Structure 1
Amino acid sequence: MKIILDRPRCEGHGLCEEAAPGLMHLGDDGELVIDREDLADGDIAQARVAVRVCPVAALRLT
């Protein structure tokens, strides 16, 4: 499973980073950086929360 960022939609709210700090972070410029796009089984629950809390639906799982 992968987490995909729709960069143009992302507004840098940071809610996803709070939900999944081991998978993503906001860079110094306020841009979201996906640290691990390919998810291990143990990451999927956090990734689902991150996708769910994004207020602009900039994240999705495939």
Structure 2
Amino acid sequence: MSHDLSLAQNHAWHLARTLMVPVILFKVDDEYGVMPADELDDAEVEPLFEYDPYQGGRPAH
């Protein structure tokens, strides 16, 4: 988890390119986190961006 959005975005993009799967950058409270998109359930997180290694990043809304 990170408090810095730009750092979290950078890590999200690198994770997507490393795993070659879409990942979601999400926010919980005041922290940002990243997880593979297929693992995101209806958890209490606010998805912000989706990073697809083939198409780039886009807002999750």
Normalising by structure 1, report the TM-score: 0.26
Normalising by structure 2, report the TM-score: 0.26
Taking CA–CA contacts closer than 8 Å with sequence separation of 6 or more, which of the two structures ends up with the larger relative contact order? 1
| Greater share of strand | 2
